[in-house]
Chains A and B, each alone.
Chain A
Amino acid sequence: MTKLTPVLSAHWDEKDSFTIEGYKRHGGYNASAKALAMNPDAVIQLVKDSGLRGRGGAGFPTGMKWGFIPQGDNKDHYLVVNADESEPGTCKDMPLLMANPHVLIEGCIIACHAIRAKHAFIYIRGEVTHVARRLNQAIEDAYKAGLLGNGIDVVLHIGAGAYICGEETALLDSLEGFRGQPRLRPPFPAIAGLYARPTVVNNVESIASVPAIIANGAEWYQSMGTEKSKGATLYSLSGHVNNPGQFEAPLGITLREILELSGGIRTGHTLKFWTPGGSSTPLFTAEHLDVPLDYEGVSAAGSMLGTKALQIFDETTCVVRAVLRWTEFYKHESCGKCTPCREGTWWLVQLLRDLEAGKGTEADLAKLLDLCDNIMGRSFCALGDGATSPITSSIKYFRDEYIAHITHGGCPFDPVASTLFAGAGA
């Protein structure tokens, strides 16, 4: 018996799934035709009723976000799709767009109609040449088929390697042709977004979920998931497992269930720690195997559902090394706009480097936590908050391992044992 519910991924196994012919074979672009014949407000209501929540991490109700766009204001409205997927561990939107870019374009048509926008921009990260190619071709084919260009235009905007542009207001600055730095809110994008016009910013998976909701109805979507977390979603399993990959399941499935379906932890090893939704979400351990992976369940257990990026690490992994590497990432990606994040992440890296090298002291652990306390909630955007998550959660669950680095005078782990090719002669 399987709990998996492929909707977005239902036809990814067909060789031409990314072409307009492949997409239309399974009813593609019927939902947008249906939506365009509806009153825009009815479309928003339907998405509200479905219970769809943002799949980019925050989980904000999608229909409600659309409803915030002021109507009859005689201003241009914009839809901006956040395809800047770069939260460490997150790998759902890129395979989705490689296998089926048209579902996003159809979602854009529906969303533009609902919020009365004539222009959608898809902001994709720049480090994925083939995904950009596929999306660009799909947009071209949608124009040729007359699906775009009749009042709704979609523009592909390709980024250039800045994690911070996944933050929605930094993304907007970047799209306007500036350095990608977050904006002070309010005003929120719904009031003053792209070019200071009312703008909806949604994640790829959120918009790609809309055509099926229009086609099958709100009740169908509501029938999946849990009380407050409706629908199905992509869970991305990676790391020390026998079979990593994408698993589309109703919200609320547990890691234990996904591991049972997929073939479990790397044979001969045991689960040590994992992230429920990318590196910015506090670490979990084996005690959290049965936490329902929905917005409320993960939050109640002290973390966040985030992007549902399940990064799995077994007992061969040094948690200090793992956390140091994530911290170096946040330091590198800090945009430099606000002091707590810009300065704080540098200090965090220095302390963690010493600790990993066995040159730290117990007082450094207290200092790390104090620094985190001064970054968390005090930085301009969520990047700073995210940087503290792996540190505070790892000290909470693995304090002894930090101490072991101090008493051992260095890292007690063998890095070779944790590689994919361990034992295979590299």
Chain B
Amino acid sequence: MAFSQEDLAIMETIIKRYPRPRSAIMPLLHFVQSRAGYVTNEGIELIAQQLDLAAAEVTAVSTFYTQYKPTPVGEYHVGVCTNTLCAIMGGDAIMDALKDHLGIENDGVTADGKVSLEHIECNAACDYAPVVMANWEFYDNQSVQSAKDLVDSMRAGNPKPPTRGPNTLVTWKQASEVLAGLNDGRANEGVQAGGPTLLGLKIAKGETK
């Protein structure tokens, strides 16, 4: 795919956020994923050109970070936390069940291109374990069945909404745009906090029991 003139203008504004252009590599890589779906060679070349770097320098950065994908992922990229706490609370069982249910392995993509699967590390939501992420939105307190239902809803083209996130799940490309630092106008959607986040406050206010 080619990047449009408008895309190039957006990339310029990303670079201008920083005192030194090179700092923009990471948001630019997220931006490339928002247009191409993954980090393409064309995207690497373009970033290198815009920042006056060798393509190898951009590639070196891209390959260090696991969120930059060298090959296409699904429209909905599902991450199952299998770090110790989530794994023990059910993450391992969820991961095994999803592999079986989708017929793909870790880092695999379904043939229809809808869902990809990755085991992920701690996602800072341990009080909601076991946690599943989709396009890096929170799906809290999952079970084997709820996780299967979630991926089924994605394949049916009507994904269930995140537990703590926007009213509807955005696509991988749309999420990548947010991670490039662009505002999609959906910050006010969704809850301000989930139950566990508020538990201490409620106890302090005598609002429990």
A binding-site residues for B, Cβ under 8 Å? 2, 4-6, 9-10, 12-19, 76, 85-91, 93-95, 98-99, 119, 125-130, 132-134, 136-138, 140, 155-163, 174-180, 195, 235-240, 243-249, 261-262, 279, 309, 311, 313, 317, 321-323, 325-326, 329, 332-333, 335, 415-416, 418-421, 424, 426
Contacts and interface: CB of A to CB of B under 8 A. Distances in A.
Interface in B13-72: 17-20, 22-27, 29-30, 51, 60-61, 64-68
A347 B85 CA distance: 23
Interface of B: 17-20, 22-27, 29-30, 51, 60-61, 64-68, 79, 82-85, 87-90, 92-93, 120-130, 133, 135-138, 141, 143-145, 162, 164-166, 170, 175, 178-181, 183-184, 186-188, 190-206
Nearest to A118: B19
Nearest to B170: A129
Query: Which of A157, A245, A415 has the most CB atoms of chain B within a 10 A radius of its CB?
Result: A245
Contacts of A243: 196, 199
A129 B137 contact: yes
A311 B164 contact: no
23 contacts: A9-B200, A18-B192, A99-B197, A128-B123, A133-B166, A160-B65, A161-B66, A163-B121, A174-B26, A177-B23, A177-B25, A177-B61, A195-B20, A239-B89, A243-B196, A245-B197, A246-B200, A262-B200, A321-B88, A329-B121, A415-B93, A419-B88, A426-B93
A423 to B, nearest CB: 12
A168 B31 CA distance: 25
A162 B65 contact: yes
B201 A94 contact: no
Contact of A129 (B51, B82, B120, B178): B178
A15 B198 CA distance: 12
B192 A236 contact: no
Given A94-B124, A127-B79, 10 more contacts: A4-B200, A13-B205, A88-B122, A99-B197, A129-B165, A179-B60, A239-B89, A245-B198, A311-B85, A420-B89
A169 to B, nearest CB: 15
Given A19-B188, A86-B121, A161-B66, A6 B201 contact: yes
A421 B84 contact: no
B157 to A, nearest CB: 20
Contacts of B196: 243-246
Nearest to A241: B127
A148 B175 CA distance: 26
B201 A13 contact: yes
Nearest to A336: B64
A389 to B, nearest CB: 13
Query: Which of B83, B85, B128, B205 has the most CB atoms of chain A within a 10 A radius of its CB?
Result: B85
B144 A426 contact: yes
Nearest to B68: A160
A236 B126 contact: yes
Contacts of A140: 183
Interface pairs A-B: 7 shortest CB-CB: A245-B199, A137-B187, A160-B65, A245-B196, A247-B200, A177-B22, A238-B126
Given A88-B84, A129-B137, A17 B122 contact: no
B156 to A, nearest CB: 22
B127 A132 contact: no
Contacts of A17: 192-193
A127 B136 contact: yes
Contact of B181 (A18, A156, A175): A156
A238 B85 contact: yes
Given A129-B175, A179-B61, A313-B88, A95 B165 contact: no
A238 B87 CA distance: 13
A273 to B, nearest CB: 11
A238 B123 CA distance: 13
A95 B164 CA distance: 10
A88 B82 CA distance: 11
Contact of B166 (A91, A127, A130): A130
Given A130-B137, A130-B166, A177-B23, A419 B192 contact: no
A18 B137 CA distance: 17
Contacts of A333: 121
A416 to B, nearest CB: 7
Contacts of B141: 420
Given A17-B193, A130-B190, A136-B183, A246 B136 contact: no
Contact of B93 (A6, A13, A195, A416): A416
A329 B83 contact: yes
B26 A246 contact: no
Contacts of B124: 85-86, 90-91, 93-94, 125, 128
Contact of B197 (A133, A246, A309, A322): A246
A89 B190 CA distance: 24
A2 B200 CA distance: 10
A104 to B, nearest CB: 15
Contacts of B27: 157-158
B11 to A, nearest CB: 14
A90 B127 contact: no
Given A133-B187, A136-B181, A158-B27, A236 B127 contact: yes
B66 A421 contact: no
Given A126-B67, A133-B178, A179-B64, A325 B201 contact: no
Nearest to B64: A179
Given A160-B30, A416-B93, A133 B122 contact: no
A421 B143 contact: yes
Contact of B67 (A160, A245, A279): A160
B90 A90 contact: no
A137 B184 CA distance: 9
